[in-house]
Amino acid sequence: MIKPVGSDVLKPRFVYDSARHHALSSEAEGLPSVLISSQAAGNAVMLAGGYFSPLPGFMGLADALSVAESMTTTDGRFFPVPVLCLLDDVEAIRGASRIALRDPNLEGHPVLAVMDVERIERVDDSQMAQMTHQVYRTDDPAHPGVATFQSQGRFLVSGPIEVLHFSYFQQDFPDTFRTAVEIRNEIIERGWRRVVAFQTRNPMHLAHEELCHMAMERLGCDGLVIHMLLGKLKPGDIPAPVRDAAIRKMVELYFAPNSAMVTGYGFDMLYAGPREAVLHAYFRQNMGATHFIIGRDHAGVGDYYGAFDAQEIFDTEVPQGALEIEIFKADHTAYSKKLNRVVMMREAPDHTKDDFVLLSGTRVREMLSDGIAPPPEFSRPEVAQILMDYYRSPA
């Protein structure tokens, strides 16, 4: 099985030992505590599940700046984006060596993790601007990832953490949320040796489905892990429970038994394009995938990134040997009226735009809202029905 990044074994930060968990929970109630941001909580959940292994916790300022610039920490470890806990106010924890981090996404804000504080540092405007530009390739406040990143505080608290629960993800998505540890174990149980992962924050239409089949066939994979983001998205995106239902229906009807696994992870979308694509590959290797599909404008938003920037970064910026996972570079896929099947558009050079069944996202949403199913060349009818029910349900 493929090794985790930078280690022979995963190093999840969740406290699995029951005695240690109980003792830490009791200790946490007496520690100075602080309410963290949703983005920091997502980082803690990813650290807990082993997705960010072998990172022990939140980065300090020197590592954050180094990672933003070169995707390596000050001691040479590879990581694609800064993993930060940024706060507005640190008075409640100033001088403390151990603190409790409280979850902003659960009622009552229970303790999510306990941190051994290494540093509390002030991030100045120029440092914040540097990290923003290097990670997001823009400082436009209209970019949803930039807006979220810049809205956090300017005090950086760093140090290793021990995590007590998985926020709302485990309770809200019990059938879908899985840690990297759990996915690795299931891949072994299923007997898969070559595994391709597919990232999604949207329902999967016919082109996405066929792209997965295409990748599995060309790569000779035993299995597919459809791995959906379960955290916060931008306004207007389809909620995770709806996506989950639509994808599960597709897999049930159109994939062979024991060929596809539907799972999800607890993290807020960054919309960081190329850098987020590398992060996606990083934690897919940690969960046991040997291959990862990256298509046109992966993890992008608006017109901030070139169509294939998220593929090119692996050849131009990722340090050689940093990742073992292999990238399946895909083009936009669509149904060909000439060939009566879904193809990658670059593999149909004799086609014009009119030879494909192409619908804009806006047009699809309009159709679904009006109770009109997209054509079967675009979307499976069973998937379309789930989405129509969502769009036509009372707000």
In contact, 391 and 218? CB cutoff 8 Å: no
pLDDT band at 240 (very low <50, low <70, confident <90, very high): confident
Pair of tokens at residue 190: 């299923």
Query: pLDDT of 107-132, one tens digit each?
Result: 999 999 999 999 999 999 999 999 99
Average pLDDT over residues 242-254: 95
Quickly name the fold that domain 177-391 has: Rossmann fold (3.40.50)
Query: pLDDT of 1-25, one tens digit each?
Result: 999 999 999 999 999 999 999 999 9
Domain edges within the chain: 18-170, 177-391
Cα 73 from chain centre? 21
pTM: 0.94
All residues at 6 or more sequence positions from 359 whose CB lies less than 8 Å from its CB, including other chains: 367, 374, 378
Whole-angstrom Cα distance, residue 96 to residue 347? Answer: 59
Q: Is the pLDDT of residue 349 over 70?
A: yes
pLDDT at 88: 95
Pair of tokens at residue 164: 């007590």
For 18-170, give the CATH class.
Answer: alpha beta
Q: Is the pLDDT of residue 235 over 90?
A: no
18-170 and 177-391 share one fold? no
Cα 229 from chain centre? 5
Beta strands in the chain (DSSP E): 33-35, 57-58, 86-87, 98-102, 111-116, 119-122, 155-163, 195-200, 223-229, 260-265, 291-294, 326-329, 333-336, 341-344, 356-357
In percent, how much of the chain has pLDDT > 90?
91
Average pLDDT over residues 158-180: 95
Average pLDDT over residues 312-332: 96
Cα 348 from chain centre? 31
pLDDT at 315: 96
Catalytic positions: 201-202
pLDDT at 116: 98
Q: Is the pLDDT of residue 358 over 70?
A: yes
In contact, 103 and 110? CB cutoff 8 Å: yes
Average pLDDT over residues 134-150: 96
Q: Is the pLDDT of residue 395 over 70?
A: no
What one-character DSSP code corresponds to residue 345? G
